[in-house]
Amino acid sequence: MSIAFAGNSATGSSREAGPLRVMIVDDSVVIRGLISRWIGAEHDMEVAASLRTGLEAVNQIERISPDVAVLDIEMPELDGISALPQLLAKKRDLVIIMASTLTRRNAEISFKALSLGAADYIPKPESTRETSAADIFHHDLIQKIRHLGARLRRKPAVSSPPLAPASPAPAPAARGPIARPASPAPAIHPLSSGPLTTRPFSTQMPKVLLIGSSTGGPQALMALVTELGPVIDRVPVLITQHMPPTFTTILAEHLARSSRRPAAEAVDGEPVKPGRIYLAPGGKHMRVVRSGADVAIALDDGPAVNFCKPAVDPLFTSAIDIWHGNILSVILTGMGSDGMRGGKDIVAAGGSVIAQDEASSVVWGMPGAAAHAGICAAILPLNQIGAKVNRLFAGDRS
């Protein structure tokens, strides 16, 4: 057994002041050593334990009482997906970040982990000798631990909605006019800096729906697209989710089943048409360009934007040249501020931005940046965004 404890076991609530306590569970001594050093160099977190198997984690979780666990998928004795529900049963508010190499099998397991209560996932580099891959892993992991751990301490122990498995879909309904759903009752949600100002919705009818998301995005997207069938039938829907290759392939399949509409990773040069969801493939920026009389996808292998690839801003800004002010954009849960600059450009061109509210976001970074920039026409909980989008595409401008 390989067990290392840092300091005394925690007592009381995991939300007490002090560094975030992180439990590392991975059968690779190299990965455990790397992550331990990275965490040890941060002022606001500490290594609570470094363990080799999921079984060790389950047996020691109550004694260690960590805030966050970085949980490998493939381990001896008890793998990560088997350990996950047992860990949450013993510590309901534990933030679990799944770690795996980039294979289709591991991507599918990571999505299953989200449905079982994992907070997020992170791809591990196949070799830590690749400096750029290790640097990205380092940056992303520390940011996920910090932001997800901060949310845990800031809010009551209410888990984000699990990613429900998508059931096989019936054939799409016949296309027709979009019915206006009943308006939801007004709701007041806490925002970190008090009241935020919103601007009027554009008077122009949107001709495209753009969505950007990051941490917590798969769960949010799955919930949102189930309500957007009539909109998808009328206009193209383009989505950028911060996600690596292979993972976006799996996400597109989930979106297709949930929306009951065609959804796939975008292909360079393909025409953009109503009735489809286009998802930016991992590792590529997705833009739209004019191709004769048509609109086409343009994939870009350039440098990361806002530390992300794909990034939301390239999609948002490119859409202005095509649809001008006839754009509705939605910014969902995620770390950082990606989408805010592109959202500003959309608003300047005459379009509109909706942001997910803080209370329903896993991390209120991206939507919060848009909200604080004053560019949003609405700041809504996730369960009200779909109805609002439907009303806007039905002609409601309020």
Q: How far apart are CA 377 and CA 348, in angstroms?
A: 13
**Is 252 contained in some domain?**
yes
**pLDDT at position 194:** 59
One digit per residue, pLDDT tens: the chain, 398 residues? 334 434 433 333 445 568 999 999 999 999 999 999 999 999 999 999 999 999 999 999 999 999 999 999 999 999 999 999 999 999 999 999 999 888 899 899 999 999 999 999 999 887 666 667 788 899 999 999 999 998 776 654 334 445 544 444 444 444 343 333 333 333 333 444 557 899 999 999 999 999 999 999 999 999 999 999 999 999 999 999 999 999 999 999 999 999 999 999 999 999 999 999 999 999 999 999 999 999 999 999 999 898 899 999 999 999 999 999 999 999 999 999 999 999 999 999 999 999 999 999 999 999 999 999 999 999 999 999 999 999 999 998 77
**Is 150 contained in some domain?**
yes
- Residues ≥6 apart with Cβ < 8 Å to 180: 390, 391, 394, 395, 396
Any catalytic annotation for residue 338? yes
Element (H, E) at 60: helix 54-64
The active-site residue out of 67, 120, 338, 357 is: 338
pTM of the model: 0.84
Any catalytic annotation for residue 139? no
**Same domain, yes or no: 213 and 150:** no
Helix then strand then coil, in percent of the chain rounded to 5, is 35, 20, 45
- Tokens 């290392």, residue located: 4
**Same domain, yes or no: 56 and 143:** yes
Could you say which of 89, 122, 154 is where a domain stops?
154
Tally of domains within the chain: 2
Q: How far apart are CA 228 and CA 211, in angstroms?
A: 12
DSSP 322-391: HHTT-EEEEE-SBSS-TTHHHHHHHHHHT-EEEEE-TTT-SSBSHHHHHHHTT--SEEE-HHHHHHHHHH
The active-site residue out of 36, 214, 259, 329 is: 214
Could you say which of 154, 169, 198 is where a domain stops?
154
**Same domain, yes or no: 142 and 266:** no
Q: How far apart are CA 203 and CA 233, in angstroms?
A: 22
Residue 40 has φ and ψ, to the nearest 5°, of -60, -25
Query: How far from the centroid of its chain's Cα atoms is residue 168's Cα?
Result: 23
How, if at all, do strands 378-380 and 352-356 pair?
Answer: parallel
Q: Which two tokens stand for residue 141?
A: 């992991």
**Same domain, yes or no: 112 and 223:** no
**Is 185 contained in some domain?**
no
Contact 339/316 with Cβ under 8 angstroms?
A: yes
The active-site residue out of 147, 242, 285, 372 is: 242
Find, among 375, 395, 99, the residue nearest to 212 by Cα: 375
Any catalytic annotation for residue 258? no
**Is 200 contained in some domain?**
no
Could you say which of 128, 154, 180 is where a domain stops?
154
Residue 262: CATH number of its domain? 3.40.50.180
**Is 292 contained in some domain?**
yes
**Is 382 contained in some domain?**
yes
**Same domain, yes or no: 226 and 122:** no
Residue 73: give the domain boundaries: 4-154
Find, among 47, 2, 56, the residue nearest to 23 by Cα: 47
**Same domain, yes or no: 215 and 149:** no
**Same domain, yes or no: 258 and 356:** yes
**pLDDT at position 136:** 85
Residue 50 has φ and ψ, to the nearest 5°, of -125, 110
**Same domain, yes or no: 231 and 135:** no
**pLDDT at position 195:** 77
Is residue 59 classed exposed, middle or buried when 0-12, 13-18 and 19+ CB atoms within 10 A define those classes? middle
**Same domain, yes or no: 148 and 226:** no
**Same domain, yes or no: 351 and 256:** yes
**Is 199 contained in some domain?**
no
**Same domain, yes or no: 133 and 219:** no
**Is 22 contained in some domain?**
yes
Q: Angle, nearest 10°, between helix axes 217-225 and 104-115?
A: 80
**Same domain, yes or no: 254 and 357:** yes
**pLDDT at position 113:** 95
